[in-house]
Structure 1
Amino acid sequence: MKISSHVSQDAAQYDASATVRRKRREKMLDAADIRLLILHFISQGAAYGYELIKSIEELSKGEYTPSPGIIYPNLALLEEMECIRIKEPQAARKAFVLLPEGEKQLLENHAHLQTLIARLTSMAVLVNNRSIPEVERAIHNMKMALNGRLSQSGVSQQTLYAIIDALDDAAKKIERS
């Protein structure tokens, strides 16, 4: 049974007051991706739900932190799929161990797992580069100039096209640098 073949309702509950950025990060991984990462980290030794959350968070340098509401239902599903089991059912904290089916899923989905790890790692690189003071200042200046100009009433179509062209030109220069 393939991990990606299970379609489940999105377990993450979105807070209506959450920012758009946070919502975008929460949607970054689907449930099958989370299950694959869970299997990976259990195979590496992270055995408790909290440790799994922290392992994923560390991989992305804090840019993505799965909620308990996404981790624990997926742990339960992986148990049902016989990919993992609770090491000591009587223990207060539930530690999980990988079963042969979980190892099989890791092998079958190795390429996708590497893509997920690369995606989360690239988020960490982005955080590092965005936190350079000069980069932060330049991004802030661009936002302020753009918001200042677009918040004025009576902006002509010609002005809008000029702004769009300037943004497109800047994007091309950045992409090609």
Structure 2
Amino acid sequence: MKQDPAFSCHQDSAPRGGCGGRRKRREKMLDASDIRLLMLHFLAQNDAHGYELIKSIEELSKGEYSPSPGIIYPNLTLLEELDAISVVDAQASRKAYTLNAAGRAQLAEQQPQVEQLIERLSSLAVLVNNRSIPDVDQAIHRMRTTLNSRLAQQDISPETLAKVVEALNAAADKIAAS
């Protein structure tokens, strides 16, 4: 069974809390090398400022993932040091970057990974669209509210917890089979 990329754990997320941790998706969705590939991809289309790259990546996922400036700008510097990109106008108040030959070669060499990244982020956009369907949104809200209410009880018995887990697993199985 193919795992939905919107719900998969990133390979290095386990030491930092894993999928069950309290970290937000944006912190473990992509690593720095993924971000660099996406930056090269967007720079291959148009010259851009760091902020424009952030917005391009965010738009791909319909706002579900937005890289922070703290990951974009150091990676722009690194790509510039590696001669993959260069500044369009060093005198401008905001640096716009363009893709160099080394960046084009790296992008071409890693095109399958770029396509996988685009597919992962695009699947988040589909997820956002489907979650926004009123009936789906209401059902998710009802499940979350009911579950939180039940699990917030101080003296919940092991038998009750087992029933909750069983019901959740049954619901997940039924959804997966539909």
TM-score range, shorter chain: 0.7 to 0.9
Aligned partners of 2:47 and 2:98 also within 8 Å: no
Q: 1:99 to 1:160 in 2, by over 3 A?
A: same
1:154 offset after TM fit, Å? 2.6
Q: 1:42 to 1:22 in 2, by over 3 A?
A: farther
Question: What secondary structure does 1:165 align onto?
Answer: helix
1:48 offset after TM fit, Å? 1.2
The residue number in structure 1 matching 2:17 is: none
The residue number in structure 2 matching 1:174 is: 175
- Percent of aligned pairs with the same amino acid: 61
The residue number in structure 1 matching 2:148 is: 147
The residue number in structure 1 matching 2:77 is: 76
Normalising by structure 2, what TM-score?
0.84
Aligned partners of 1:46 and 1:55 also within 8 Å: no
Aligned partners of 1:83 and 1:103 also within 8 Å: yes
The residue number in structure 2 matching 1:126 is: 127
CA distance in 2, matches of 1:42, 1:21: 33
Aligned partners of 1:53 and 1:68 also within 8 Å: yes
C-alpha distance after superposition, 1:84-109 (max 9, x if no partner): 00111112221111111101110111
The residue number in structure 1 matching 2:44 is: 43
Question: What secondary structure does 2:98 align onto?
Answer: strand
1:40 offset after TM fit, Å? 0.4
Aligned partners of 2:84 and 2:101 also within 8 Å: yes
Question: What secondary structure does 1:97 align onto?
Answer: strand
Normalising by structure 1, what TM-score?
0.84
Deviates more, 1:89-98 or 1:37-46: 89-98
1:68 maps to a residue whose letter is P
2:64 maps to a residue whose letter is E
Regions of 4+ moved over 4 Å = none
The residue number in structure 1 matching 2:10 is: none
CA distance in 2, matches of 1:175, 1:46: 42
Consecutive unaligned residues of structure 1, counting only runs of 5 or more, are 1-19
CA distance in 2, matches of 1:135, 1:21: 24
CA distance in 2, matches of 1:36, 1:165: 41
CA distance in 1, matches of 2:152, 2:103: 54
CA distance in 1, matches of 2:68, 2:77: 15
The residue number in structure 2 matching 1:33 is: 34
CA distance in 1, matches of 2:55, 2:114: 18
CA distance in 1, matches of 2:47, 2:147: 45
Question: What secondary structure does 1:122 align onto?
Answer: helix
Aligned partners of 1:82 and 1:99 also within 8 Å: yes
CA distance in 2, matches of 1:53, 1:129: 24
Q: Does 1:23 align with 2:24?
A: yes
1:46 offset after TM fit, Å? 4.2
